[in-house]
């Protein structure tokens, strides 16, 4: 699933209250525990003593206007033990009208209990089928007819309704988002990843709509009065959360050059001219993953060619969803308009497509056993998010961006005392399932995988992944199976075994999977002897960290022989402390080459001072840019945690006055801003630090300039975006002046602002302007057809200092159809971020409109 969850903390507090369940209702929901059943205890889980193998889902009477439908499910289940008195499965908000059970061994109907053949458990979201007499092990066919509702709030997921406007007409569509436990809202099912079945979907829709979509291609079409029934080919063996269907009048663009390997981009009418980039990069990413993993995507259909559809949705609660054959995306993350989509969003299209396509192998072909093992799905998808997209288009520089985007964010999250492990067994209920979709499963897991790749080497790493996929195809994965695959690949690599004999790679991997947080490697070097003492411990920003030990692959280089070309580790640190040798004398060391390992490095004072001197000299660029980014990011965290003298820390990062590299500044800006924001309650200190930052940035601003060059690299453009956005926010006079000129040219002369400069120019124009500036941009927002550009404008609208305009903005965020439900909570965040002086106004607005916000 797409990695970006955008609910601000203030709204979580205001909107997150759920109605309490009365104690007597809770007790009544436990009645099924008196039965011999397939329900575990606690009843959020089902036991695998009843297993579905083939499921037919038939949806009829789909009424988009009335948001309702009828359905039937026919499932073959294997009962694996005798004397079951009931079979339970998941359902949520379905009204069952008929249940029939047939014993497939003798073809006879199984008599159900009277007067209550089935009951609901709405607390645990279960449907219980009660038998008159206990049943024996064997094969059974269960048929269930029911009525259902189409959710009108996409945030509720399941089978939900969205809308769009075309030719001034409001049009509805219905689509699905089932992960992690929402398939039960569309049909009764075994709604856990461990239950994998073959699904056959049939949809009867009004003939006024276009062809429906599901995981597979349409196998047959039948006209029934004013409706059309479309039946799809059976899916490969998949979990219920990967089933998908979509009913609308959307329009596809099919890549004709891939005829035997179908690839389509699908969207609302009026946006088909924004399909081309996603189609181009998506086909190439698929080809790259086919080649890398040795199993071709289109061949995974178990008898059918797998479709490769990608659907852009105006309303979608997640970033994207990896349904096999039919990936759903938030529209801004799939549609590309070169005149209105900036480079950041273009990159996001490439990376989110790579993430979802990576899931086809990791998550779909081999599925995590339970959500506690979610990293087996998300870590690999997040790894390929960057590297498969990098293989498809190296000019995007995504292999390097992985460090500042994912390694740094993983280390930052792991600095919290409450950090969770990758393999987090605490899954007690549905809310704790949702908590697993976090930085730990995504960014940290991907960073651990990258570290393992650098440790074992790219060929052995790839072979391990191929072993895992081939050995467990269409089945369930768990960490032990992953470790087995790595040990198998390592056994075939004699070079690695000669460097690290008798290694148990499962233990190495598991230390990162099971440990909370991430380590800091403390380096103390004796210049007289050259002896380096290495110690490891868990890094935390606050509190006393518990004693933990990782098996850390160490790489390093020395000043006298600086070499950042090889990231292959030279030693495995699997104890608390050890000693290494370097050349004596003035000879600083740098550990974690190109930050290939997931750990911070803290040096002794002499080494810090030597590094500071070198970084502030003309030799700075001899230190790899990713290590310079590592150093500033580590030092700023150490300043926060008190692990370095503050004066020394700021001396080390003073080289930023001369630094012009995107990656180095990216490693610094978030942490520098954290310090600045902590001074907001002390106006004089806050202004002094802000002035220090403006001075620190002068050189990089002058180097980049205020305009884009025709030959600028990806990192140069990204650097200009991040530097000018921050510079204008902190009042850099040159940035503000240039932005106002560009804004006025846009407003007065209709001269469009260059797409990669719009965020800071729009915001500055509104921050320094009046109500007329707000109204001008608000009108542009309402007339836009590009979702990504609309998000840029929505963010900028919140920069206004005009309180009447700000009030209008907040009101519109609740009622304006153009502001999508997934952007409404973002609008409140943008209002708080736009100007510090807006905080009191926004807080008061939230208090006064709490009931409306909660229910809108």
Selecting among 356, 551, 659, 812, the annotated active-site residue is 356
Residue with tokens 């072979």: 463
Residue with tokens 């607005």: 845
Residue with tokens 């790259």: 288
Beta pairing partners, 130? 86
CA dist 324 to 239, 364, 550, 817, Å?
A: 10, 7, 36, 31
- Whole-number Å distance between alpha carbons of 631 and 652: 9
Structural tokens at position 852: 């409306």
Beta pairing partners, 511? none
- Contact yes or no for 78/84 (Cβ under 8 A): no
The distance from CA 483 to its chain's CA centroid, rounded to whole angstroms, is 24
Q: Is 144 left (phi over 0), alpha (psi -120 to 50) or beta?
A: beta
Q: Is 356 a catalytic residue?
A: yes
Helices and strands (H, E) in the chain, number of each type: 27, 31
- Contact yes or no for 569/597 (Cβ under 8 A): yes
- CA 801, 807, 810, 812: dihedral to nearest 10 degrees? -120
600-603/218-224 β-pairing: unpaired
Looking at residue 528, the DSSP 8-state letter turns out to be T
- State the chain's maximal CA–CA distance in angstroms: 91
Structural tokens at position 208: 């006024």
CA dist 839 to 10, 226, 539, 803, Å?
A: 12, 54, 33, 11
Detail the DSSP E strand segments found in 510-650: 519-525, 531-538, 552-554, 556-558, 571-573, 577-581, 589-591, 600-603
Give me the helix-helix angle, 276-293 and 375-392, nearest 10°. Answer: 110
On whether 397 is known to bind a ligand per the annotation, the reply is no
Structural tokens at position 720: 């200009």
Residue 255: CB atoms within 10 Å: 18
**Runs of H (alpha helix) within 294-325:** none
- Contact yes or no for 381/363 (Cβ under 8 A): yes
On whether 760 is known to bind a ligand per the annotation, the reply is no
Burial of 142 (0-12, 13-18, 19+ CB in 10 A): buried
Q: How many residues does the chain have?
A: 856
- Whole-number Å distance between alpha carbons of 31 and 243: 31
On whether 378 is known to bind a ligand per the annotation, the reply is yes
**Peptide bond between residue 751 and the one before it cis (omega within 30 degrees of 0):** no
The distance from CA 695 to its chain's CA centroid, rounded to whole angstroms, is 36
Residue 571: CB atoms within 10 Å: 15
- Whole-number Å distance between alpha carbons of 87 and 853: 41
Exposure string of 96-125, with b = 16+ CB inside 10 Å and e = fewer, is beebebbbeeeeeebebbeeebbbbbeebb
Binding-site members for Zn(2+) are 355, 359, 378
Residues of each annotated binding site? 355, 359, 378
Catalytic residues, which ones? 356
């Amino acid at each position: 699933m797409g990695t970006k969850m955008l609910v601000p903390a203030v709204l979580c507090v205001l909107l997150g209250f759920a109605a309490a369940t009365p104690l007597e209702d809770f007790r009544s929901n436990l009645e099924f525990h008196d039965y011999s059943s397939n329900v575990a205890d606690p009843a959020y889980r089902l036991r695998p003593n009843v297993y579905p193998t083939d499921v037919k889902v038939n949806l009829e009477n789909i009424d988009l206007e009335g948001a309702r439908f009828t359905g039937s499910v026919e499932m073959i289940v294997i009962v694996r033990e005798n004397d079951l008195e009931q079979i339970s499965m998941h359902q949520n908000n379905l009204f069952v009208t008929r249940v029939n059970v047939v014993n497939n061994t003798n073809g006879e109907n199984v008599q159900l209990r009277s007067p209550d053949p089935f009951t609901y458990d709405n607390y645990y979201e279960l449907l219980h089928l009660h038998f008159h007499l206990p049943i024996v092990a064997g094969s059974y066919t269960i048929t269930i007819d029911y009525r259902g509702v189409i959710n009108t709030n996409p945030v509720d997921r399941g089978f939900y309704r969205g809308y769009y406007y075309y030719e001034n007409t409001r049009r509805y569509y219905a689509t699905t988002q089932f992960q992690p436990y929402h398939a039960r809202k569309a049909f009764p099912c075994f709604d856990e990843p461990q239950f994998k079945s073959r699904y056959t979907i049939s949809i009867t829709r009004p003939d006024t709509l276009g062809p429906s979509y599901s995981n597979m291609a349409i196998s047959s079409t039948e006209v029934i009065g004013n409706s059309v029934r479309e039946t799809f080919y059976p899916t490969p063996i998949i979990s219920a959360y990967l089933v998908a269907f979509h009913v609308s009048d959307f329009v596809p663009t099919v890549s004709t050059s891939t005829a035997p390997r179908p690839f389509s981009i699908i969207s609302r009418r009026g946006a088909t001219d924004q399909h081309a980039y996603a189609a181009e990069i998506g086909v190439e990413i698929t080809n790259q993953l086919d080649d890398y993993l040795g199993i071709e995507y289109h061949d995974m259909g178990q008898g059918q060619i797998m479709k490769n559809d990608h659907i852009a949705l105006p309303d979608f609660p997640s970033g994207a969803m990896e349904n096999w054959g039919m990936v759903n995306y938030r529209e801004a993350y799939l549609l590309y308009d070169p005149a209105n989509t900036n480079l950041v969003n273009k990159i996001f299209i490439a990376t989110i497509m790579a993430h979802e396509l990576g899931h086809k192998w990791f998550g779909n072909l081999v599925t995590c056993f339970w959500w506690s093992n979610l990293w087996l799905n998300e870590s690999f998808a997040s790894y390929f998010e960057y590297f498969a997209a990098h293989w498809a288009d190296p000019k995007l520089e995504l292999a390097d961006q992985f460090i500042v985007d994912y390694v740094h964010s993983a280390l930052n999250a792991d600095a919290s005392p409450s950090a969770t492990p990758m393999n987090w067994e605490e899954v007690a209920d549905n809310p704790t399932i949702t908590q697993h979709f976090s930085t730990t499963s995504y960014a940290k897991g991907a960073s651990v995988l990258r570290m393992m790749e650098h440790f074992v080497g790219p060929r052995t790493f790839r072979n391990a992944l191929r072993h895992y996929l081939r050995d467990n195809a269409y089945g369930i994965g768990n960490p032990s199976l992953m470790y087995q695959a790595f040990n198998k690949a390592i056994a075939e690599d004699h070079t690695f075994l000669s460097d690290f004999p008798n290694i148990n790679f499962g233990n190495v991997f598991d230390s990162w999977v099971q440990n909370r947080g991430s380590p800091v490697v403390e380096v103390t070097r004796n210049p007289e002897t050259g002896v380096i003492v290495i110690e490891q411990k868990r890094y935390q920003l606050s509190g006393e960290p518990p004693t933990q030990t990782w098996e850390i692959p160490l790489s390093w280089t020395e000043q006298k022989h600086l070499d950042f070309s090889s990231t292959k580790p030279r030693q495995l640190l699997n104890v608390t402390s050890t000693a290494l040798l370097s050349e004596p004398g003035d000879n600083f060391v740098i550990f974690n080459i190109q930050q290939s390992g997931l750990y911070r490095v803290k040096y002794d004072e002499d080494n810090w001072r030597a590094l500071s001197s070198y970084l502030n000299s003309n030799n700075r660029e001899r230190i790899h840019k990713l290590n310079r980014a590592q150093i500033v990011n580590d030092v700023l965290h150490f300043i926060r945690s008190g692990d370095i003298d503050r004066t020394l820390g700021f001396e080390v990062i003073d080289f930023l006055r001369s630094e012009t590299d995107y990656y180095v500044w990216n490693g610094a800006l978030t942490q520098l801003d954290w310090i600045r924001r902590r001074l907001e309650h002390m106006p004089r200190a806050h202004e002094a630090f802000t002035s220090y930052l403006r001075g620190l940035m002068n050189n990089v601003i002058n180097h980049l300039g205020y305009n884009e060059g025709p030959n600028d690299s990806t990192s140069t453009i990204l650097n200009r975006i991040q530097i000018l956005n921050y510079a204008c926010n902190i009042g850099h006079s040159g940035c503000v002046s240039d932005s106002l000129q560009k804004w006025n040219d846009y407003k007065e002369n209709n001269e469009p602002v260059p797409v990669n400069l719009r965020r800071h120019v729009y915001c500055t124009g509104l921050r320094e302007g009046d109500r007329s500036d707000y109204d001008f941009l608000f009108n542009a927002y309402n007339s836009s057809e590009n979702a990504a550009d609309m998000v840029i404008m929505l963010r900028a609208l919140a920069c206004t200092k005009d309180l009447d305009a700000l009030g209008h903005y907040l009101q519109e965020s609740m009622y304006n159809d153009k502001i999508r439900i997934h952007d409404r909570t973002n609008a409140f965040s943008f209002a708080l971020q736009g100007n510090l002086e807006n905080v009191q106004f926004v807080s008061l607005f939230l208090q006064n409109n709490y009931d409306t916000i909660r229910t809108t």
